[in-house]
């Protein structure tokens, strides 16, 4: 439940109107102007450019999938996911707050960011954890080296089984990145395969984050070229934008090379961080988030939002909106995991939030009235443009003016309603 006095309640009509008047102006360069091919897709020879379908929509799909839950040892979590500007939703996830049996105090969470189709991401979201558990490397002794080995072997086995399914189903061009965390009573295991990312906030600061696997990274580029590929336009063979993934079997055909030595490697990078009472929250997110916001900005923004929001789904929703308003054109998915040491609701922060929203309302009214006085049409874009150049104290750290756009939109439509011409009695028609 939103507890700030003036909650920025989601108002789909306002958001949709904003999209109609502003985000609609995204240039054709971003919406297929480079040829219109999505990640992992290349136009065939002889195809005319105008018949290539754009991977982007004319208007974003704003509906959000939201989930929440908790574990018995004190973890709470929420998931938020939105299709956005992409023509298809290709993100999937897996949230298991409590594993069974002797691993009842362990948790597993993962985000799967598919490309060139959604089927590989969906398959892996359903089978990866099972393959990891089947290795038998996880147990009450919580041996980090054994657990790391189990995770890596689970990824390799998932990719092996996926290969036969992909041949049968025709998914060989599809793939998925994976970012996951396995939380034991003593350790946090971070697993990354691709360019989705995990980030841990401890004592209000970024304590750890995974490294993205991009083709232009020196070690990744060396492996790609050794397997017979090339890196151009920061992509493998000018096409695929990630260097590690499950699936993508058209990039895994080099002879006499192990799966981990192929152009696209299914081997994840696994890092272990010892748990601390100072751990606050952990984020797993696809690149639709990280393309628009840095680790430090997201850490600061969520830290601030947790002091004014009691519903983690609301925090995830605000992150998604922030990324959309900052220009993300991808699917957007985030899992937020809060430890017992996470920031708590603060009366002072709630008061500051209410004061900020009062200030924004007054600024919108001031700008609206000034535009009317000059004989100009106070459309939403004009108000936003003026407001963006105005110094506003107290904006959420890491979020800036974009993080309060729903509040601004609401204030704008309140002004429109206030300034609506009144019809004298008796002249309103029968």
Contact 248, 304 (CB under 8 A): no
User: 377-400: buried (b, 16+ CB within 10 Å) or exposed (e) per residue?
Assistant: ebebebbbebbeeeeeeebbebbb
Give the helix/strand (H/E) hosting 236. strand 235-236
Task: Read off the pLDDT of each residue in 331-337 and give the average, rounded to a whole number.
Answer: 98
Decide if pLDDT at 19 tops 80: no
Main-chain dihedrals φ then ψ at residue 354, nearest 5 degrees: -65, -40
- Residues 265-324: tens digit of each pLDDT: 999 999 999 999 999 999 999 999 999 999 999 999 999 999 999 999 999 999 999 999
Distance between CA 1 and CA 6 in Å, rounded? Answer: 12
Beta strand 205-209 pairing with 197-202 = antiparallel
The pLDDT of residue 427 is 55
Q: Average pLDDT for residues 356-377, to the nearest whole number? A: 95
Phi, psi of 262 (to 5 degrees): -75, 170
Phi, psi torsion values for 59, nearest 5 degrees: -140, 145
Local confidence band at 426 (pLDDT 50, 70, 90 cut-offs): low
- Pairwise CA distance, residues 376 & 381, whole Å: 12
| Inter-CA distances, 106 with 5, 101, 112, 137, Å | 37, 10, 20, 13
Tokens encoding 417? 């309603």
Q: How far does Cα 144 stand from its chain's mean position?
A: 28
- As a residue count, the chain comes to 430
Can you list the domains of the chain with their CATH numbers? 12-26+54-338 (3.60.40.10)
| Mean pLDDT to the nearest integer, 331-344 | 98
Please give the pLDDT value at position 421.
78
Q: Which two tokens stand for residue 232?
A: 């151009």
């Amino acid at each position: 439940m939103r507890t700030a006095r003036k909650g920025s309640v989601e108002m789909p009509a306002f958001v949709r109107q904003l999209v109609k008047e502003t985000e609609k102006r995204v240039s054709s360069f971003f919406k297929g102007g480079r040829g219109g091919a999505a990640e992992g897709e290349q136009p065939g020879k002889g195809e005319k450019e105008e018949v290539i379908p754009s991977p982007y929509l004319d208007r974003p799909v704003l509906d959000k999938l939201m989930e929440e839950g908790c574990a018995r040892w004190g973890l709470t979590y929420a998931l938020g996911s939105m299709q956005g500007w992409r023509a298809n939703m290709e993100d999937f996830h897996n949230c298991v707050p409590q594993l069974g049996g002797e691993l009842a105090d362990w948790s597993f969470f993962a985000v799967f960011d598919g490309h060139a189709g959604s089927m590989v991401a969906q398959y892996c979201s359903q089978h990866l954890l099972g393959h990891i558990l089947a290795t038998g490397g996880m147990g009450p002794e919580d041996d980090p080296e054994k657990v790391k080995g189990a995770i890596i072997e689970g990824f390799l086995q998932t990719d092996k089984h996926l290969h036969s399914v992909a041949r049968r189903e025709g998914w060989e061009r599809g793939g998925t990145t994976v970012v996951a965390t396995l939380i034991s009573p003593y350790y946090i295991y971070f697993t990354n395969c691709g360019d989705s990312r995990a980030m841990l906030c401890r004592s209000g600061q970024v304590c750890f984050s995974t490294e993205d696997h991009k083709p232009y990274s020196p070690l990744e580029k060396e492996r790609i070229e050794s397997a017979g590929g090339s890196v151009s336009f920061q992509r493998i063979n000018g096409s695929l934008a990630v260097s590690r993934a499950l699936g993508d079997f058209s990039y895994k055909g080099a002879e006499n090379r192990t799966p981990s030595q192929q152009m696209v490697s299914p081997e994840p990078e696994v890092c272990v961080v010892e748990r601390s009472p100072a751990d606050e929250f952990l984020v797993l997110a696809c690149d639709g988030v990280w393309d628009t916001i840095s680790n430090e900005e997201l850490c600061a923004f969520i830290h601030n939002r947790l002091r004014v929001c009691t519903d983690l789904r609301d925090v995830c929703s605000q992150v998604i909106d922030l990324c959309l308003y900052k220009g993300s054109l991808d699917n957007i998915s985030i899992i937020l995991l809060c430890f017992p040491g996470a920031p708590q609701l603060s009366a002072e922060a709630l008061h500051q939030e209410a004061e900020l929203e009062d200030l924004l309302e007054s600024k919108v009214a001031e700008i609206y009235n000034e535009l009317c006085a000059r004989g100009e049409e106070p459309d939403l874009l004009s108000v936003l443009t003026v407001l963006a150049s105005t110094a506003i104290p107290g904006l959420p750290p890491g979020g800036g003016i974009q993080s309060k756009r729903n509040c601004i939109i609401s204030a704008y439509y309140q002004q429109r309603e206030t300034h609506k011409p009144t019809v004298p009695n008796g002249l309103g028609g029968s």
